Amino acid sequence: MKHFIIIALMVSLLLSITPAFAEKYGSFVKVSESVEGTFDEVVKKSEEAIKKGGWDILASFPNAVPEGCSFRAHTIVLNSPDYAQKIMSHGPRSSFALPLRVGIYEDDKGINIAFVNPASINRTVLGDKVANELSVNTMNKLSEILASAANGNAVNKQIGQLRKKGKVGGMGGGHFRDMIEVIYKKEDKGDTFQEITKKVKEGIESNKKEWKMIYALELDNGNALLYGVNQSKMEAKAYKIAGEKRESKENQCPGIDHTSSFPIEVAVYKEKGMVKVSILDGMYRMKVYFEDAGMWAFMKNMGMPGEIQEEIVEMSLAGLK
């Protein structure tokens, strides 16, 4: 009987410890809804709260919305050097889990605040059993920081695609490690890294297809550089797809609740004696952030991820050919 009680207590203890990262996490966390104030005031207060909470703002920009949408959306890109260093300790490809992004958007009930969920994206990029405590603690801390900026209804709700594991399943999914597209590489010697990052930047900035560089983030003590790129036409279409099955008379563009899905990452980093330029497979990245749109939405727009990927590759390598 004594042994049974001891075993039962141990099982109970394990169950009390492990569920924190075994539960379902959404691609995003919705912090608050029906937030008081004007849209611009909420953006400003959110920026102030982020800075006060110890995070740097890399970019803050208005998002494109679908045609006919009367609501606004805005993204704040944020980074903490300490948090980034911990993520990058798992290797240069971990840069695709960075930086984090906050989305502020309107719907028929008012203004909402949400952010990309590190408990979800880190599980996908780093693995199911890697940096769990860091991921959940960061999720909770960001919720707390952003809630302090909002005088509204605190909901702290997991939204977007809910996943129990990091692996993205179904058509276009797979393990993260298999979905990194190395689009260019060259032996790492001398100033190779600096030359490549410069040419990638120049290629992005000189493109003719209306892509914009939103941020440049140096990582891993200067051994990696992450560029964030965005295009209004692509962004608006993605939000249309994300919300199509949820559209109503009151809200014709619910997909802007995915506003913190962008910018898209172009990573340059040193790995195994080479300097590499990498992106995520286009379909895979769409699945990571937009899987909840449903299979039919993906079927109807099968060509879009490939077109996005092709344009990003073209401009990133324009000066490296």
Q: Read off the pLDDT of residues 38-89 as tens digits, 9 standing for 90 and up.
A: 999 999 999 999 999 999 999 999 999 999 999 999 999 999 999 999 999 9
Close Cβ partners of 51 (under 8 Å, ≥ 6 residues apart) = 57
Looking at residue 67, its pLDDT comes to 96
Give the Å distances, CA to CA, from 144 to 36, 132, 139, 140, 228: 17, 18, 9, 6, 26
Q: What are phi and psi of 127, to 5 degrees?
A: 125, 160
pLDDT band at 11 (very low <50, low <70, confident <90, very high): very low
Mean pLDDT score of the chain: 93
Q: What is the pLDDT of residues 161-210, one digit of tens each?
A: 999 999 999 989 999 999 999 999 999 999 999 999 999 999 999 999 99
Distance CA 21, CA 133 (A): 8
| 172 in Cβ contact with 288 (< 8 Å) | no
Helix-strand-coil percent breakdown of the chain, rounded to 5?
45, 30, 25
Task: Enter the pTM of the model.
Answer: 0.92
- The CA distance from 63 to 68, in Å, is 14
Q: What angle do CA 161, 126, 287 make, to 5 degrees?
A: 30
Domains of the chain by start residue, with CATH: 23-316 (3.30.310.70)
Question: How far is the C-alpha of 303 from the C-alpha of 120, rounded, in Å?
Answer: 26
Give the residue carrying structure tokens 């050919």.
321
Q: Calculate mean pLDDT across residues 311-315.
A: 98
